[in-house]
Amino acid sequence: MTKLLSVALVFFLCISVTHAQYDKEYRKLRLQFPAENMVVLKNKETVTVKAGAKGLYVHSDSYNERMYLNNRAGNSSEFSLNYTPLDSISHIEASILVPGKKKYKKIKVKQFKTANELSRSVFYDGAKSISFFYPSMTDGAKTELSYSTEYPEPRLLPSFYFQEYVNVLEAEYSIITDNTVNVAWKLYNMNDTSVQFTQKNDGDEVTYSWKMTNLAAFSQEPNAPGPRCTMPHIIVWIKTAKIGEVIQPILSSPIDLYEWYSKNLTTVDYTPSEEIKSIVDSLLQGKTDEIDKVKSIYSWVQSNIKYLAFEDGMGGFVPRNGKKVCDRRFGDCKDMANMIHTMMEYAKIPSQLTWVGTRGLPYNYEETPTPVVDNHMITTYINKGNYYYLDATGPFTPYDMPSAFIQGKEVMIGFDKDHYEIRHVPVMEASKNTVNDSIELSLNGTRIDGKGKTTFTGYRHIDIAEHLVASSQKQKQTLREYYMRGCNKLLLDSFKLENISDPYKDARIKYFFNLEDYAKTNQDEVYVNMNLNKSLLTEFIPKDRKLEMEKEYEETNIEVITLKIPPGYALEHLPQNASFKNELFGFDLTYAAQPDKIVMTNKMYCNTILLEPDSFKLWNQQMKDLQKAFAEVVILKKTK
């Protein structure tokens, strides 16, 4: 046996030596990344900006090199490049280096297929993809890919991400400009010590370069802000350029960005069609209050224009005219914003088209005055100093609340071709987004029979409406899952809905349920845990979590649960009150004994939409205290 093992060991060492002769890099990476399928050896992009007599010429050259580290390499044999009507890809060269006995064998990709690219989030944006297959993909193979991209619109330079969802050994971004071109940049989610910056002046050219090495694979954690908020990346933009003999501003400040946005809007026809006039006249008949008129117009667009993200080329920046949107009965955010604007203009009510970035974009207009700062359009209505941010893409959002996903964000409000205003969208306080659940429990042996009434306001109303209206055929299943809340014994008997689709009234659900074998007995005592919402006990934040935790909105949840004391029983033990309070979040759990019933009240609140890592420990302490409080039971005892 020892001799056989020795022979096997010698054979293994011989094989290893043979491999080491031509593939030291592969073996080193296998040791460094034993659990990874692939690693990026180099990702490099070089942007060139040249100023001419008639304008700017902008293109980029990209190079990407990867190595595949195990037998799952075949899963990565297909590759694709995406582009839009606002850019174009050319000069594609792709090769695979397949390991041989002594060296790599290089095989060039010969076939490339172009097709329309379908997006999960956008109905149509004109995007296309160029796809191809790396032949003979195998463990230890390398791939090389290079291509060029043309950018006819110099304001639309894309961001460059140093980090990816796999390990990256080296990532480098460079921009080469004429010395008559003035550029600016902003680094996100990294500090100056983690990136190597160089500037090289060579005659009439200037080259700026940023390089990072040994970047771990990016891992997105649940409920974290979007990747742009956490992944290291750079945004570069052109501030000014000498075109001919004149130095022209491109994106030197938010003013330049607004001027470009405003210029794009000059092609929009705001003339209302006869149908639009008829609709507005009908909506405003008998109304004298301006806010009532705005509410009617906004609600009509919500109910009658279906939101479809339809962005083709400059259609991503320029809304379609109201007549076309009204005829089609669908449009994207810009189309719906312009539809509201057109209708309000006809009604002689001032309104402003408004640009805003959703919460997944960590940018502001002053620091990053480029089109990457925003991705959404709404309509702003101002009345007596109050700003109303009208976003009809949400069918259940009231006119006086912003969409949840733009809370806290900057908006650029356009008044005319020369005037705009930048403001912050408010964050709706927790008291506006509530769930108030009132439940009555009756004991029937060990079974609990219950009836409840839940009231929803604000964003909580919007959420429940989206779930119930979208699945009207599965409402009972949806509600059973909602009310189970970690207690799988709950059976929903019946329910009644009130005002679910009306954003201007509190939504209510009346429901009846039972819980078999819920109460526990021991001789002449009955034990009842009045805390039915067990799902709260799963909201611990893992100790190894690194990223911030995003909340959709601030909220308040109130439960008032009443347990009737059945005839022949008396209260033996009442749990102690418990609370945990600070500025960001907390709870207050109280018990009160009355002659024939026990009332438990639990109020929980969260006054933030972003939990920072330094508050995670405090959050978990809250959950520990809540877990301990939820373990307490009411004890009833038979009377003699």
For residue range 1-26, list pLDDT tens digits in order. Answer: 444 444 444 434 444 443 444 478 88
Q: How far apart are CA 595 and CA 614, in angstroms?
A: 46
Q: What share of the chain is helix, strand, coil (3-state, %, to 5)?
A: 25, 40, 35
Position 556 pLDDT exceeds 80: yes
Quickly state the pLDDT bin for 53 (edges 50, 70, 90).
confident
The pLDDT assigned to 14 comes to 41
The residue behind tokens 């942007």 is 47
The pairs formed by 118-122 with CB atoms below 8 angstroms and a separation of 24 or more are 119/309, 121/309, 122/309, 122/310, 122/311
Q: Would you tell me how many other CB atoms lie within 10 Å of the CB of residue 477? A: 11
Instruction: Give the max Cα distance, the chain.
Output: 104
The SS3 of residue 239 is: strand
Residue 365 in tokens: 């207009």
Name the CATH code of domain 433-638 (choices 2.60.120.1130, 2.30.140.10, 2.40.50.140, 3.40.50.970). 2.60.120.1130
For residue range 131-160, list pLDDT tens digits in order. Answer: 999 998 999 999 999 999 999 999 999 999
The SS3 of residue 253 is: coil
The pLDDT assigned to 400 comes to 97
Residue 325 in tokens: 């949107």
Name the CATH code of domain 255-424 (choices 3.40.50.300, 3.30.360.10, 3.40.50.2020, 3.10.620.30). 3.10.620.30
For all residues of the chain together, what is the average pLDDT? 91
The pLDDT assigned to 13 comes to 42
Residue 10 in tokens: 């010698």
In 195-273, which residue ranges form alpha helices assigned H by DSSP? 254-264
The pLDDT assigned to 358 comes to 96
Buried b (16+ CB within 10 A) or exposed e, 66-90: bbbbeeebeebbebebebbbbbebe
189: left (phi over 0), alpha (psi -120 to 50) or beta: left
- This prediction's pTM: 0.91
In 485-538, which residue ranges form alpha helices assigned H by DSSP? none
Residue 213 in tokens: 């090495």
**HEC string for 571-604:** EEECCCCEEEECCCEEEEEEEEEECCEEEEEEEE
Instruction: Judge: domain 33-249, CATH 2.60.40.3140.
Output: yes
For residue range 497-552, list pLDDT tens digits in order. Answer: 999 999 999 999 999 999 999 999 999 999 999 999 888 778 899 999 999 999 99
Among residues 476, 106, 545, the alpha carbon closest in space to that of 467 is found at 476
Q: Report residue 60: phi and psi, to 5°.
A: -130, 150
What does the domain layout of the chain look like in residue ranges?
1-30, 33-249, 255-424, 433-638
DSSP codes, 290-348 = HHHHHHHHHHHHHHHSEE--B--GGGGTSPPPHHHHHHHTEE-HHHHHHHHHHHHHHTT
